[in-house]
Amino acid sequence: MTAKAVRRRLQPAERRTIILDEALRLFAERHYAMVTVRDIALTCDINVGLIYHYFDNKDHLVRCALEHAIEQLVAGYEERRIALDDPRAEILAWLETHVTITPTLTRMVKLMADYASSDIRDAELDAVIAGFYEGEKTVLESALQKGVDSGRFMAIDVPRTARRIGLMLDGIFHASASRGDDRIVADIQDLVDFLDVMLGLRAPAVCEASAPESGPRICPFPRPPFDEKA
Summarize pLDDT for 183-204 with one digit per residue, the tens: 999 999 999 999 999 999 876 5
- Contact status, residue 66 vs residue 128, Cβ threshold 8 Å: yes
The pTM assigned to this predicted structure is 0.81
Domain borders along the chain are 59-203
CA distances from 43 to 10, 20, 38, 49 (A): 16, 11, 9, 14
Phi, psi values for residue 34, rounded to 5°: -90, -10
> Across the chain, what does the average pLDDT equal?
87
Q: What is the mean pLDDT of residues 33-52?
A: 95
CA distances from 11 to 16, 18, 61, 160 (A): 9, 11, 19, 45
**pLDDT surpassing 90 at residue 31:** yes
**pLDDT surpassing 60 at residue 6:** no
Q: What is the mean pLDDT of residues 87-96?
A: 95
Q: Would you state the CATH architecture of domain 59-203?
A: Orthogonal Bundle (1.10)
Gyration radius from the chain CA atoms: 22
- Contact status, residue 99 vs residue 188, Cβ threshold 8 Å: yes
